[in-house]
Copies of this chain bind each other. A is one copy, B any other.
């Protein structure tokens, strides 16, 4: 992999993706082999927006590699409040670390910031933009469960506003995957995304009825339908209920269907699904560690 910065999943070729996922598999199988690999290396964490799982799993990943973190902390307790530009902040902080992770509310922030620094910078979410390590851990989880060849994946819920979904759908066009988009009509894929997938040679199969397509799926990727997208509560309830998964609704699915979710969930996956063998969303979150270890290892010099 020859990238200085990882700002978007779109910059990653199939070969890049496979290099990360292969390395992640190795690291997951034998983490102790790399326990001191990056001893002394520091990862700078710049989170301008709240985060639990992304920040904690980047921290865990760096520490599992033998390195450590230097954390800016919450914006309220940083001098960012004094009005410093993002470009200045990253130019200062690159002097404190060997690589940077940036989450920022503005789309394009990571791309812009990456132009000012010499150390590798990873985008950990830029508003409505990209969150490439989420996409990589999603791909990793799909591959571990169902493979990435000749596989049928349903993506369900809010397909209109879901950044995670757009990025995953685009990345999946690199593989021999049949993608099914399941949502109420009001929350279907934006025209732009649909066009984009067509351009990549992917057929966009849209569904409004989960039950009809569920039996054929190998993976079901569920996302939250947000209340605030609906003009009134009753309309929201009707739609949300229809796209909620519970243990009973899985009775028509393949035995080894993998149910995924980027988390946090509210009620789009009922708690009784947690006890089924289909539940893969916690494992998916946990996969953030080996995937981020792999990416950091490759960026910090994995060939040494």
Residues of A within 8 A of B (CB): 32, 35, 39-40, 42, 44, 47, 50-53, 55-57, 59-60, 63-64, 66, 68, 70-84, 88-89, 91-93, 95-97, 263-266, 282-283, 285-286, 288-289
Shortest CB–CB separation between residue A63 and chain B, in angstroms?
Answer: 5
- Ranked 4 nearest A-B pairs via Cβ: A95-B286, A84-B264, A74-B77, A60-B96
Alpha-carbon gap, A78 to B77, bound state (A): 13
Residues of B within 8 A of A266 (CB): 83
Shortest CB–CB separation between residue A133 and chain B, in angstroms?
Answer: 14
- Cβ 8 A contact of A50, one of B39, B77, B283: B77
Copies of this chain present in the complex amount to 3
Alpha-carbon gap, A13 to B180, bound state (A): 57
CB of B60 within 8 A of CB of A92, answer no
Residues of B within 8 A of A79 (CB): 50-53, 264
Q: Which residue, of A63, A80, A265, has the highest number of chain B Cβ atoms within 10 A?
A: A63
Shortest CB–CB separation between residue A90 and chain B, in angstroms?
Answer: 10
Tell me whether chain A's interface is mostly helix, strand or loop, or mixed.
Answer: helix
CB of B73 within 8 A of CB of A55, answer yes
A64 with B42, Cβ < 8 A, contacts A83-B266, A285-B95 known = yes
A93 with B42, Cβ < 8 A, contacts A74-B76, A78-B51, A79-B50 known = no
Shortest CB–CB separation between residue A91 and chain B, in angstroms?
Answer: 5
Shortest CB–CB separation between residue A301 and chain B, in angstroms?
Answer: 15
Residues of B within 8 A of A44 (CB): 56
Shortest CB–CB separation between residue A304 and chain B, in angstroms?
Answer: 14
Residues of B within 8 A of A52 (CB): 72-73, 78-80, 84, 89, 92-93
Alpha-carbon gap, A74 to B52, bound state (A): 10
Chain B residue at smallest Cβ distance from A84: B264
CB of B88 within 8 A of CB of A263, answer yes
CB of B72 within 8 A of CB of A74, answer no
Alpha-carbon gap, A88 to B285, bound state (A): 11
Alpha-carbon gap, A68 to B80, bound state (A): 24
Shortest CB–CB separation between residue A134 and chain B, in angstroms?
Answer: 13
